[in-house]
Amino acid sequence: MTDKPPLPARMFDPWPRIPIDTSEGSDFHHLNRTAGSAATGWALGPEGAYAQNFTLAEVVDGAVREALLHLLELGLIDIDSDRLNAAPGLPTHRERTSP
C-alpha cells in the first residue's frame, strides 16, 4: 500500500490523491468486480431498487452502500477512522485524474 499523503490543512483545500492501479488483474479490478456484483445483486433483487421503483439517486446511494458494506464485511477494505475524524472536511465530488 502506498503511504497516505497528509490531510489538507483547511476545509476546501485540495486533497492529494493516491495513485491507484486500475488495470485488469489489479487488486482494484478484483474489488471493483466484487463490489459491482454486490451492488447489481441489490439493485436487481426482489427487494431492490427496480422492484421498488426507486429514483436514480436512491439507486446510486443504495448501490454504493451495498458495495461498501460487502467489502467491509469481507474484511477487504478498512475505514481509517483516525484519518476520517482528523479531516477538516471531506470532498464530496471526485476530481477526475484518470480515464
Assess if residue 52 is contained within a domain.
yes
Whether residue 97 lies inside any domain: the answer is no
* Residue-by-residue DSSP string for 27-69: HHHHHHHHHHHHHHHHHHSTTSTTTTT--HHHHHHHHHHHHHH
Q: Which domain holds residue 62?
A: 34-86
Residue 14 counted as domain residue: no
User: Which pLDDT belongs to residue 39?
Assistant: 96
Instruction: Note the pLDDT tens digit of each residue in 44-66.
Output: 999 889 899 999 999 999 999 99
pLDDT for 99 beyond 90: no
